[in-house]
Structure 1
């Protein structure tokens, strides 16, 4: 029965992300943006923590669930508005995944555990949340950092080191070592940037 719940929950998550009107083309295949992201998250979890249980697998799969429905533009500009947006996103993601898990048949205790991780509750003290944050950081470094840098050629190296430092501080020592041991795909220039961040 547990496997039936898991399969239904994952199908519901993928169906929700398949509605994303934003698209990316990868190796000739068109993907809804957040569906692609969710698959990358699951793939990274399998590489980074292959023994993760179903709760973590579902939280990771739902990390950005229907993110496009809560755009940054809906909040004020500036640092305060950014933090309001992030907090709103976390609650939004937690609420959606809780509803989908209930539809899949899970009980409240399991639902709350997944929702807390997906909602980024208690980073550094909740191991589920920390694991999700690790996977998120690894996915960003491997898949999204190159495109992000190409969109901001005006940034000086010091700016990139500051950005990397913010990501690095959210990740665990285990994730740091995973990166430094080159278990993720990195251009040499990014690997050098990460090492400068570490020894900054």
Structure 2
């Protein structure tokens, strides 16, 4: 097997240990394994020529996330931001160990870590590509649950923040998602379209 195949299998094996599950099309999956698969599939659909570094970063974006629960940090804005920063480092370090075992060079591993930590967003084309994919996966698979949990004004804010992180290509792709009529209208209202 190639280093990529080994690394992918090992990332999947880690994510398959998630004790949280999510149902999709009547089947139950470990939550982060399902997320990882959605990220990789969306990346390859959106940008099939993505580098191996971006492909691995997409699969490992949430690797072992359940080991660092949100509740382990103060439940305020500062706590949330600290959790997000430390999560990125945790995901990058967890992935780096797998890539070392797979035989990747330190240059390759550093690049994957750079991408997972989302450095130089808007300036680095591959960081931007990964962010587009994160936003597209959120909008396609997780947006509906957010709409049911939050009021309209909060949702407008979430939509604007998501939109502002994306590139123009990401925007065009997002508008192709099969949203419900109500959710599509909410997005258009939020963006003034």
TM, length-normalised to structure 1: 0.92
CA-to-aligned-CA distance 1:129-151 (integer Å, 9 cap, x gap): 11111101000101001122223
Does the Cα contact within 8 Å between 2:7 and 2:98 map onto a contact in 1? yes
Which position in structure 2 is the counterpart of 1:161? 156
Residue 117 in structure 1 maps to residue 115 in structure 2? yes
Q: What count of residue pairs does the alignment treat as equivalent?
A: 193
Residue matched to 1:195? 188
2:2 is paired with a residue whose SS is: helix
- For residues 54 and 179 of structure 2, what CA distance do their matches in structure 1 show? 25
Q: Distance in 2 between matches of 1:37 and 1:17?
A: 9
TM-superposed CA distance for 1:174, in Å, is 1.1
Match of 2:98 in 1: 100
Pairing partner for 1:9 from 7, 10, 13: 7
CA contact (8 A) 2:3 2:104 kept: yes
**Cα deviation, residue 189, structure 1:** 1.6
Q: Which residue of 2 aligns with 1:81?
A: 79
1:151 counterpart residue number = 149
Provide, for residues 143-168 of structure 1, a one-character-per-residue CA deviation record: whole Å limited to 9, x for no partner: 0011222234xx1x222111111111
Structure 2, unmatched stretches of 5+, are: none
> Cα deviations across residues 65-100 of structure 1 (Å, max 9, x unaligned)?
011111111111211111000001011011111111
Q: Distance in 1 between matches of 2:90 and 2:123?
A: 22
Q: Which residue of 2 aligns with 1:58?
A: 56
Which of 159, 169, 178 is matched with 2:173 structurally?
Answer: 178
SS of aligned partner of 1:125 = coil
Distance 2:25 2:174 in 1: 25
3-state SS of 1:25 partner = strand
Alignment match of 1:42 (pick from 10, 34, 40): 40
